[in-house]
Structure 1
Amino acid sequence: MNTETILYIILSGILALLLAGFQYIIKLKSITKLSLLFLILRFLTLFSVLLLLINPKFDQVSVSIEKPHLIIAIDNSNSIRYLNQQEKVKNLVQEITENESIKRKFDLDFYTFGEEFKNTDSLTFLENQTNIDNVFDQLGQIYKQTISPTLLITDGNQTYGNDYEFSISKYNQMVYPVILGDTVTYTDLKIQQLNVNKYAFLKNQFPIEAILVYNGTETINSKFIVTKGNITVFSQNVSFNNLNNSKILSFTLPALKTGVGTYKATLLPIDNEKNKINNSKDFAVEVMDQKTKIALVSSILHPDLGAFKKSIEHNEQRSVLILNPEEAIKQIDDFQLLILYQPNGAFRLLIETLDKVGKNKLMVIGPNTDLNFLNRISKNYQFEISGQYEYYQADLNNNFSPFLVEDISFETLPPLKSYYGSIEFKTPYETILDKTINNIPTDEPLLATMESNHVREVLLLGENIWQWRAQSYLNYKSFNEFDDFVGKIIQYLASNTQRNRLNLEYETFYDGNTGVILKAQFFDKNYQFDSRESISIVVKDNISEEIKTFPFVLKNNNYEVDLSNLRPSEYSFTVKTAHENLSTSGSFRILEYNVEQQFLNANVAKLQRLAARSEGRSYFIDEANNLVNDLLNDNRFLPIQKSHKNSLPLIDWKYLLSIIVFSLSAEWFLRKYNGLI
């Protein structure tokens, strides 16, 4: 409270006393006990009212003790089970949890990591992947402003994600790795990596690259073979020593039959090799009997052309050839569909030919498009010509039905440059993306599909889609999301099959180490997405004849089922709807491979470097007592006393109002009782 406020309070007291004295002392010309009591009551009333007018503020200080957090992040992947360390981990967690000294000094926070990062101390050791980098990324956001030493209980072997040894630079906490697993180095042969294209084309050769690694000191000989069923399709003798401890084999295999072909690569183990699981790996290749050829036709140069070509050719069963209109007309029969980029008068003969032969097309409209020309030649739409241009962002239409569209955060993508004005459609159309300006809808399509007389057309009303591909990479660290989106548009145009009310999205084979996710969309008779249906899948193991039924769950305007718990095998399935008599069938294969079983030892060196970079210290699991003692004796982790100052205005003090009411009521009652009123 400042000096000025104190002065006002003193003056208020004097003024209240003078006013009360004037009424009950000077005015009455005599002093009695009753008049003194009236004076006191009137003084309390006036002084309280004046205090409320001044409304002084009082500082309230509260003191609290904040303990540092002790983060216990536990590797929950099945490599811990494979290394037979799960009981030691559980015992360590129990010891920390029951240690009273630790609990007095720290607030304990437990997390597990593997494929996912979770706030829990429930341990299963069943997760099929390990991402340690994600641990530091998540914890760095949660404990940004606190002192939080981190126990990282792991074998240090990461199967995907960025290198966690370098991501520690973004994590401002001390890390204490607790190292799990055997540190003894064993002689070992393994297939480090197999690089195989997912698709191949009939009667072609598909390439394979195998990276083989040897861990040992002696010179050894082995043999690398690839089998398909009981037939050996490739073999090569290999030798290793302590200097030449890795080899890269590159070879090709013939694609003789359409469908999914399953192969097994094996590096024959040496005598007394401890881990033989990493000596073999299954892989599969889907053989296609044709390749979709697409013409990208343009009379101008633009970065969009390269973006379209790269996105479409991301799927190796598709090829794109960039042509001008004159070249495209001569080769029109060689292509399944055409992309017409910002057409002008030079496209007249090409568009007339496409309409005549009934080929599907993707039309890209931008500032270099001749809208007058399109209005004259198009039978499906007419443009309002204003001569002005605007930048539009995209908003996904969740009710789009012809095919499944994943939301790749369209609202975060850069705006496309498009003409300013409306478009009038003369044929039924469906909108994939709507135009928005500053998140305000315009009720105009940015990307739309239409179908007339079994001929399909997609209309993109904007240029600079290359910026979408670049931004998608920044968002997801990969081009895959954007390329898959473009791929679905191309797939829609490359096929003239009728729409189904029940659509499925799945792969023909899955790596044993990846999630097996099937997605479905169900539409009502008006082809509007229907979220009320119950959908189930009946899965049959073609080898064991075992049959299981799973429900689909509704997720982000899709129905989805996770079959990742199925063991590696060949499966056939039927998807059914509960209320409508609709069903569809298919098959897939899960390949046998567990990346968590490829490791023999803990990655001691990396975990020790991790501890040094974060100013922590590493421990082996059997040194848990030293870890606890070091944490308790480390003066860097002391409780912090924090004071919180809260300024409270007097007007919020309810008792002052009670004093005013009481003093006024008492004065009135006494005056009434004594006949002064």
Structure 2
Amino acid sequence: MTESSVIYIILAFITALLLALFQYVYKSKLNNRLKTILTVLRTVAVFGILLLLINPKFETETYHDEKPSLIVAVDNSESITYLQQDKNATSILKSITDNPEIEKRFNIETYSFGKALKPIDSLNFSEQQSNISNALKQIGEVYSNQVAPIILLSDGNQTYGADYSFVSNSVKQPIYPVILGDSTIYSDLSIKQLNVNRYVFLKNRFPVEIIANYNGTESITTELKIWSGNSVVFRKPIQFNATKTSEVITTTLGANSVGVKTYKVELTPLDLEKNTVNNSKNFGVEVIDQKTNIALVSDIIHPDLGALKKSIESNEQRSVSILKPNEYLNNSNDYQLVILYQPNNNFNTVLNEVSDQKLNSFIITGNTTNFSLLNNLQSAFKQTVTNQSEDFQPQLNRNYNTFIIDNLSFEDYPPLQSEFGTIEFSVPNAIILSKSVNGIDTNQPMLSTYEVGNTKHALLSGEGIWRWRAQSYLESESFNNFDNFIGKLVQYLSSNKKRSRLNLDYKSFYNGNDDVIISAQYFNKNYEFDNSAALTITLKNKEDDSIREVPLLLNNGNYSVDLSGIASGSYNFTIKHNTESVAATGSFEILEYNVEQQFLNADIEKLQSLAKNSSGNAVFNTEIDELISDLLTDSRYATIQKSTKNIVPLIDWKYLLGLIALSLFVEWFIRKYNGLI
């Protein structure tokens, strides 16, 4: 309470007392006992009211002890079991969490991680991938405002994510890696990396690049072989020694038949080699007999052209040629799809060619588009010509049902510049993206698809799509999400297949540790998306004829099933509606490969670097007592006494209001009883 408040309270009491004395004492004929009672009651009432007007504030301060948190994160991946460290990990976790001094000093929180971080329920060391950097970043975000050292129980072998040795730049906590493994160096051969295109073309030869590694000190000779079934299609002797520990081998293989072709790369094992699993690696290619050629026709130079070309050609099945209008007309029969970028006066003949030859097209408009020409030479839509441009944000239509769209939000994507004015379609169209201004959806199409007869078309109103591809990279550190979105649009436009009530999205083959996710869209008889359908996938293994049935779940506007973890091999599958005679079939192959079994030792150097960069300390699994001692004696982790100051205004004190009311009531009653009213 401030000094001014104290003065006001004293003045209020004097004022209340003087008023009471004036009313009940000054020139009063009441007896002394009644005078005293009424004076006290009136003083209390008036003083209480004046106190409420002054409303002084009272401060209370409480103290509490805050212990630091101790985060224990355990690597739950298969490599821990493969290195025979699963029992050590479980024992170390128990010794930390059950230590009474640690429990007294810290609030202990335990997590496990593989590809994702989660609170420990049970440890089974069955995760097929490990993402150490993501686990540490998530822990750092949760405990960013606390003192929370992190104990990391791991072999340091990461199979997914960014380099974790520099994660201390974003995780402002000391990290104490407990190294699950030993430092013994064993002689070991391994296939470090294998680079090959996913798609190849019939009768072509495709390149294969293999990086073979050797870990050891002796001079050795081995042989690299590439198998196709039971036949060796390539072999080469390789020599390694203490100074030559890796070699890059390149070759080309022939693609002689259509379909998925699988191969196996193998290094002949050394005598007494401890780990031979990493001596071999399977890979696959899909041989196709035709490449989709796409003409990107433009009369101007713009960054959008390069972005579109890179996005489309990220799928090796497609090739994009950037052409002037006259260049396209000379070779129009060579392309399955034509993209018309900002048509101007020079596109007159091109637009007529697209219409006369009934070609599929993708029209992109912008600031240099001649909308009068475009309106006259096609009849599917009309753009109001205002000669004024506007910036429009994209807004995704979650109900778009022509083909499956990945879960892109587009919320933070930059605006595109488009002609100000309405677009009216004379044919049925499906909106993928609508225009939004200041967060308000205008219900005007930005990106939409439509069909004219047997041809398919798309219209994008706006230039600057290269910014979208850059934004996709900023969000996910990869162009894949945006490239897949454009790829599916191009796939739809370049295909002449009739629309189906059940559309599937899957890959023809998956590497051993890939997520095996199959998506589907189901439409009713009016081709409207049905979000209440009951779909089931029947999966059949071609090798042992085993059958497995799994329901598909509705997820973000698509039905999907996650088959990750099923055994390697070839599979046929059928997705069908449980109550209607609608079904679709497909097949895929899973290549045998377990990335968690490729390691022979713990990655000691990287774990030690992580500890050093974060001001922590790395220890081996036999030094856990030293780690506990360091944590208990480190002054950074002392219990902190914190105070909480609580300021309460008097007006919140309800008892004062009750006292005022009681005083006034008793005063009124006494006066009434004595005939003073």
Quickly name the TM-score band, shorter chain normalised.
over 0.9
Alpha-carbon offset, residue 31 of structure 1: 5.4
TM-score of the pair, normalised by structure 2: 0.98
**Matched letter for residue 213 of structure 2:** V
**Matched letter for residue 443 of structure 2:** D
Contact 2:571/2:587 (<8 A) preserved: yes
Alpha-carbon offset, residue 674 of structure 1: 4.2
Cα distance in 2 for residues equivalent to 1:649 and 1:225: 84
Cα distance in 2 for residues equivalent to 1:149 and 1:461: 52
Tell me the residue number matched to 1:460: 460
Contact 1:395/1:410 (<8 A) preserved: yes
Contact 1:25/1:31 (<8 A) preserved: no
CA RMSD of aligned residues (A): 1.3
Cα distance in 2 for residues equivalent to 1:573 and 1:21: 98
Alpha-carbon offset, residue 114 of structure 1: 1.3
Tell me the residue number matched to 2:142: 142
Alpha-carbon offset, residue 580 of structure 1: 2.4
Post-superposition Cα deviations, 1:230-253, rounded to whole Å, max 9, x if no partner, equal: 111111111110111111000010
SS of residue matched to 1:467: helix
Contact 1:110/1:121 (<8 A) preserved: no
SS of residue matched to 1:253: strand
Alpha-carbon offset, residue 411 of structure 1: 2.1
SS of residue matched to 1:19: helix
Tell me the residue number matched to 1:189: 189
TM-score of the pair, normalised by structure 1: 0.98
**Matched letter for residue 582 of structure 1:** V
Tell me the residue number matched to 2:111: 111
SS of residue matched to 2:10: helix
Contact 1:65/1:640 (<8 A) preserved: yes
Per the alignment, do residues 299 and 35 of structure 1 end up closer, same or farther by CA in structure 2, a change over 3 Å counting? same
Tell me the residue number matched to 1:551: 551
Tell me the residue number matched to 2:161: 161
| Structure 2: segments with no counterpart, 5+ residues | none
| Structure 1: segments with no counterpart, 5+ residues | none
Cα distance in 2 for residues equivalent to 1:26 and 1:353: 111
Alpha-carbon offset, residue 100 of structure 1: 2.0
SS of residue matched to 1:374: helix
Cα distance in 2 for residues equivalent to 1:366 and 1:271: 67
Alpha-carbon offset, residue 622 of structure 1: 1.8
Tell me the residue number matched to 1:283: 283
Cα distance in 1 for residues equivalent to 2:600 and 2:577: 47
Tell me the residue number matched to 1:56: 56
Tell me the residue number matched to 1:442: 442
Post-superposition Cα deviations, 1:249-284, rounded to whole Å, max 9, x if no partner, equal: 000100011000111111010100000100011111
Cα distance in 2 for residues equivalent to 1:46 and 1:240: 100
Contact 2:115/2:160 (<8 A) preserved: no
Q: Does 1:132 align with 2:126?
A: no
Tell me the residue number matched to 1:5: 5
Contact 1:367/1:389 (<8 A) preserved: yes
Alpha-carbon offset, residue 29 of structure 1: 4.7
Q: Does 1:638 align with 2:630?
A: no
Cα distance in 2 for residues equivalent to 1:475 and 1:486: 17
Contact 1:431/1:445 (<8 A) preserved: yes
**Matched letter for residue 52 of structure 2:** L
Q: Does 1:305 align with 2:297?
A: no
Tell me the residue number matched to 1:662: 662
Q: 1:454-603 residue pairs with structure 2 within 5 A?
A: 454-603=454-603
Contact 1:129/1:159 (<8 A) preserved: yes
Post-superposition Cα deviations, 1:296-321, rounded to whole Å, max 9, x if no partner, equal: 11111111111111111111111111
Q: How many residues align?
A: 677
SS of residue matched to 2:411: helix
Cα distance in 2 for residues equivalent to 1:121 and 1:609: 30
Tell me the residue number matched to 2:391: 391
Cα distance in 1 for residues equivalent to 2:47 and 2:262: 94
Per the alignment, do residues 6 and 283 of structure 1 end up closer, same or farther by CA in structure 2, a change over 3 Å counting? same
Contact 2:116/2:135 (<8 A) preserved: no
Tell me the residue number matched to 1:611: 611
- Of residues 439-448 and 115-124 in structure 1, the stretch that sits farther from structure 2 once superposed is 115-124
Contact 1:211/1:248 (<8 A) preserved: yes
Tell me the residue number matched to 1:71: 71
**Matched letter for residue 586 of structure 1:** G
Q: 1:79-478 residue pairs with structure 2 within 5 A?
A: 79-478=79-478
Alpha-carbon offset, residue 73 of structure 1: 1.0
Alpha-carbon offset, residue 43 of structure 1: 1.4
Post-superposition Cα deviations, 1:362-417, rounded to whole Å, max 9, x if no partner, equal: 11111111111112211212221111111111111112111111232312111111
SS of residue matched to 2:637: coil
Cα distance in 2 for residues equivalent to 1:240 and 1:83: 25
Contact 1:389/1:417 (<8 A) preserved: yes
Alpha-carbon offset, residue 672 of structure 1: 3.8
Contact 2:355/2:378 (<8 A) preserved: no
Alpha-carbon offset, residue 525 of structure 1: 2.3
